[in-house]
Each structure stands twice: as structure tokens, then as C-alpha cells.
A and B are shown apart, each in its own frame.
Chain A
Amino acid sequence: MQKHIVSAGSLVIVLFALISAPVPVYAESIQLIPTASDQNKSLGEYLSRVGNCMGCHTAKGGVSFSGGKKMYTSFGVFITPNITPDRKTGIGHWSKEDFWGALHRGESPDGRMLYPSFPYTEYTKVTRKDTDAIFDYLMSLEPVSKDNPSDKIFFPYNLKPLLYFWRKLYFKEGVFNPDNSKSKEWNRGAYLVQGLGHCSACHSSRNFLGASQEEKFIGKKMTGVSWYAPSLTSRLEAGSGELEINEITELLTSGITRNAVASGHMATVIRQSLQFVLPEDIRAIAIYLKSIGKENSDVASAESFPVLSKNIRSRLAQGGKLYTKYCEDCHQSSGRGIPGIYPSLAGSRSVTMASPLNTILSVMKGGFPPNTTGNPRPYGMPPFQQIFHDEEMALVVSYIRNAWGNHSSLVTEIDIERSRNGGRD
């Protein structure tokens, strides 16, 4: 007995030690990047990871950076260009100045204006020094000769004047201006999030041509693909204001925490890019995200649920039965899942967000969290689209949005139908 108490006590002490262990101080290394002294090249390689150039400029199963990936958007299908140093089919004949023109101004050296499906709208804030380093790295790659098919842009978006007009309205060439009232770390985070990380390319509302509403991060149904990229400021969506820094960094690098899991496009961004971001940079990003999460003071949506009618209660009960049969094994009857393995649905913002889209897609299509160094052998979620009819899908999703103290709108068969054709390509 005595022994037990002692060991329990020391466990507590160990836990405390873990929790209160001083956070490593990175302040001095803010000038970032691994020993910037040596090659610009390895700096460039790292920065290209942060910008996820490879993720877009590589076709499924294709050679890295040789382009050919199809990007489905609501204004057309873009096919990414080859950015290896091949002189004919790639960018081997470009100068540093040309490259700067593309990333900073969205212009090709032949004078062509580029479409904002290439996130130069964010990259414009990347410094000349960082852009040059990325260029050096790309030029050190093996040239790959590969002509990619051309874009299929729908009328009227294929009209040059429209692009010109759009740029006048929405694209502001810019540099990152540090806020001196904030810490170096905060500024580093802001620089990465607004610039290379191009988070707002997905996490903000866009106009018809895909232009982000600058720095607003107000959430947006992703063009062409139905995953909803939640707001990074709202506490009802993916705002980080109330999270611990460690929790934010863990989510962004491993893809899963005790309270959240990244799915869909976010899982891909983490696998391709964020898991490779240096600890000090990820920490800076988290500090910045936490600060923009705070600025927002949303209260729970006013959408009220009068007394649930008998009909609604019985529908939720039917959803509950499906949950017991198909979901409970993993997500538990408490809805709390198993931390780090099966995500909690109870109290999950992903589940209760106003938009039910991602929840519907998760249940329809299933998925594995991204394979990362922090979570190399994830457990999976089965798809249920081949098992449930639309009505059953609506019932079970409505149930999890309203069980265990969750409180959000009911989902109808129409919502299910609408989501069906979305999902990952």
C-alpha cells in the first residue's frame, strides 16, 4: 500500500516536471533557419518545404517539381508547370530577377500575368533573400524534361482582361512589415503564416477568381473541392486563442492531438510541408496563430433550438442507434474517442462548426490522419458512403452534432447530396 502511494506520488511529480519543464528558448535563433552560414541551397530547400512548392508542382506519382498536378477550382482546371531547371520545359532559362517577378509580382518573364491559383498573392511577402535561396535550390535540382498539358480555364475566366481587372482589385504587391510592438517570435510567425505558409490561400474567403480577403482568415469553402477550410480566428472554428502553444505545434506537425485531428487538405499540407518545419519556426507560427485567435470574440451562434420537437428527438434517437452500431467501437459511447488515436467528437469544433461539410465528408469518405514522424502508423476511419443511405447519413451526422452536449444545426439529406461530389480529388 505504502509503496503504491509513493509510486503514485512520484508519478505526479514526474508529470508536473513534464508539464512545467521550461519551454526551450528560441529567441536568439529567430534569424531562423539552420546555420544560415553555409549553403543558400539548403536554406532554399527548407524554405521550399515551408512554401510547399513540391506539393503543388508534382503530379501524383510524378517526379518532384516537374509539375503536371491538376488543381480543380471553380474557375477551371489548372495544371501546375514544371519548375525544374530544364531549359526548354522548366525554368532553367530564368534569372533570379525573373523568379522574383513570379513570386513577388505574379508575372512570368514573358510578361504573362499568372493566375492566383499560384499563391503569389501570399508569396509576395517573402523577402528577396528567401526567394533567392529558393531559386538557388531549384537550380541545383536535376533538370526534368516534361511538357505539361495546358490549363483548362472556363469562360469567362480565361479572358486576360478579367485577370487584369482582378489583379487591380485584389492583388497588392507587398513586403512583410514587422510589428515592432510584438516579439521577434511573433513577427517570424506572422511572416511565415502570411507569406510562404500561404495559409490564407485556403483559410480565407475568396472572390470569384480566388482572391483572398487579405489577412482576414474568415474561412472558406474551398474552391472546386468541398472541404471547408475553417476560420483561423474564430473560437467556434479553428481559432487557436484558447489552445496551449504545445497543442498547436503538435497538431501542425504530427496531425493529431488529444483534442483534434487534421483531415482532408489540411492532412495533406501537414504531410507535405508543416511536419518538416523547424521547431522554432513552428513555435513562432503557433504564437502568431494564438494571438490572432484571441482577437476574435465570437459567442456561440445565436441559432436557437427551441424545445426539440418529438419528431426531432426521435430522429436523433435513430441517429444514436446507428452511432452505437457503427461508430461506438472507436469513438466510444461517451463520444470522447481515444486520445491521439480516435478523435473525440464530443466538444469537437470540427464537428459542431456551423458548416457540417467536413463532418459529412469524414463520415462519407473516412480517412487516415497524415503519416508524420510524430504519428507514423495512424489508425484509420472507415468510409461509410457504401453503407449508409443519405437519410441514415443525415441521421448519424445530426446525432453527433447534438449528442454529449454538442449543439449545432441538424443535417438534411440535401446537405448530404450536396457534399457527395466534393471531397478529395
Chain B
Amino acid sequence: MKYFYLIISFFISNLVNASGSLSVTVPDTMEERVKACTICHSNKDRVGRDAYYPRIAGKPAGYLFNQMRNFRDGRRYYQPMAILLENMSDEYILEIARYFSSLQLPYPPPENIGIRPEEIKLADLLIHLGDPGRDIPACKSCHGEALMGIKPFVPGLLGLSHAYISAQFGSWRNGGLMRGQNSNCMSEIAKRLTDEETNAIAKWLAIQTVSGEPSLPGTLAPEFSHRCSNIDSENIHSK
């Protein structure tokens, strides 16, 4: 009898080996499906050149959905992502956007960069008060009191690296390939800022400690909602 079991178990283990994968199951989760994304967009190893990979976890789903479609459809340019998204449907992109939006990952510590007192003052002013004279509203009025964004389509500004924020402003301001081809309320504001100002803002944002969550839909004042209507209209709600 003992031998019988031995033979049987030998047989079974052989079977499993032969098919190689019977013993392994792949989790039927979004986490597993998007490993191709988290190789760059994760919290780990955010050093050196990886610092350029923006955080996407916890951002409003509508914003993520819009950006992913922009990359896929050539309105925002980053080849490695365009390739991954090339054959993806809107439905699946939305599902992935919702997944990342729902992720609550710890934020990285503030970046360790120097900022001069004048720069702090300049950034503070624009972020909290804006410059009505040049038709630049306070960043807070759209990006939320906590600067964590407003659902569904305005992203948060904290937890992003200095290098990344500077690059986005550079592209908007110079009409660069990356993002500057797409005209909207944000690119218009970026064009009104000076290099000095964007520099100060990028530093200021990168050294903040992150806390809070995106504000709820409806907290964006109608005036600003209207100003950004060309983004909203291609949003998640139209789906």
C-alpha cells in the first residue's frame, strides 16, 4: 500500500512537472495585470533617474484615464508608455485608471533640495493667491486646498519630483512634444509664468510633506470648471 501511494505521488508530481505550470496560479487581480506599469510607477527605488517617474497611485481616476488616453492617442508623448497602451481599449484603460486611483501607498519623503527664501515667497504667493493681474488663479483654487487634486480630473501636485514638475512646465511653455501640443486651462496658465516662477514652484512642491486626499467632485468652483471644460468633456463621465 505504501508503495502504491509512492507510485501515485510520483506520478502526480511528474504530471505537474510535465505541464510546468499546473502548480502555479496567477492572481486574477489588477495588481498582477499591471506589473508592466509598476516596474516604473512604484514607490520603490525612487532614486536617480527613477525619480522622474511620476506617482500615479491615489490620483483622481478621471485624470489618470485622460492621461493614459493622451499617451495612447499621441496627445502626450512618452514612447515607452505609448507602446504599452497601443492596443488597449478605453474600457480597460478606465479599469486600470480606477485601480491606480484607489491605491493608497505611502508617499515618499520630501525631496532633499535647497530652496532660497525668495523662492519660497514667490511660490507661496502663486500657489495660495495667484496673480490676478496676469489672470493666474491660485494653484489651490483648482488643485484643492490640500493641493491633492479635485476629483475627477484635476491631479494633486504633491509627491511629485522636482525634475518631473519642471519638465511638465517646460513642455507646456515651449509647446514641447511631451505635453505642450495639448492646449487646456493648465497649459495656458503655464505659459503665463516665468522660468523663475516655475522653478521656484517646482522646488516648493517637491519639498512638501504629503498628507490628505483629493477633494470631492463638485468642490471645483464653476468658474474654474468652466475654464477647464475641454478637459472635463473628454472625461470619464462621458463614458
Residues of A within 8 A of B (CB): 59-61, 267-268, 271, 330, 332, 334, 336-339, 341-342, 346, 365-371, 376-383, 385-387, 423-424
Contacts and interface: CB of A to CB of B under 8 A. Distances in A.
A410 B165 CA distance: 42
Contacts of A346: 20
B36 A377 contact: no
A268 B74 contact: no
Given A332-B20, A336-B20, A371-B92, A380 B35 contact: yes
Give the interface residue-count category, chain B: 20 to 34
Contacts of A342: 26
Contacts of B112: none
The 5 closest A-B pairs by CB, nearest first: A61-B73, A380-B36, A336-B20, A60-B74, A382-B39
Interface stretch (B79-87, B169-177, B191-199, B201-209): B79-87
A138 B94 CA distance: 31
Interface in B8-34: 17, 19-21, 24, 26, 32-34
Nearest to A342: B26
Contacts of B88: 368, 371
A170 to B, nearest CB: 31
Given A60-B73, A332-B20, A380-B84, 9 more contacts: A334-B21, A341-B26, A366-B36, A367-B36, A368-B88, A371-B91, A379-B26, A383-B84, A385-B80
A264 to B, nearest CB: 9
Given A60-B73, A366-B84, A338 B36 contact: no
Contacts of B35: 330, 379-380, 382
A382 B74 CA distance: 20
A334 B22 CA distance: 12
B90 to A, nearest CB: 9
A315 to B, nearest CB: 25
B83 A371 contact: no
Given A268-B86, A424-B86, A337 B33 contact: no
B95 interface: yes
Nearest to A380: B36
Nearest to B36: A380
Contact of B89 (A376, A381, A382): A376
Decide if the interface of chain B is mainly helix, strand, loop or mixed: helix
Contacts of B85: 368
Interface string B81-110: 011111111011001000000000000000
Interface of B: 17, 19-21, 24, 26, 32-37, 39-40, 49, 69, 72-75, 79-80, 82-89, 91-92, 95
B181 to A, nearest CB: 11
Nearest to A379: B33
Contacts of A341: 26
A368 B21 contact: no
B83 A365 contact: yes
Contacts of B91: 371, 376
A169 B49 CA distance: 52
Contact of A383 (B17, B20, B39, B87): B39
Contacts of B24: 332, 338
Q: Point out which of A342, A382, A387 has the most chain B C-beta atoms below 10 A from its C-beta.
A: A382
19 contacts: A60-B72, A267-B87, A337-B21, A365-B80, A366-B84, A368-B84, A370-B87, A377-B95, A379-B26, A379-B33, A380-B36, A381-B36, A382-B36, A382-B39, A383-B83, A386-B49, A386-B80, A387-B39, A424-B86
B48 to A, nearest CB: 11
Contacts of A366: 36, 80, 83-84
A423 B82 CA distance: 11
Nearest to B93: A371
A383 B84 CA distance: 9
A69 to B, nearest CB: 10
A385 B36 CA distance: 12
B34 A380 contact: yes
Nearest to A258: B21
Nearest to B30: A377
A370 B34 CA distance: 14
A61 B95 contact: no
Contact of B32 (A339, A365, A379, A424): A379
Contacts of A337: 21
B26 A338 contact: yes
A380 to B, nearest CB: 3
A378 B83 contact: no
A338 B21 CA distance: 6
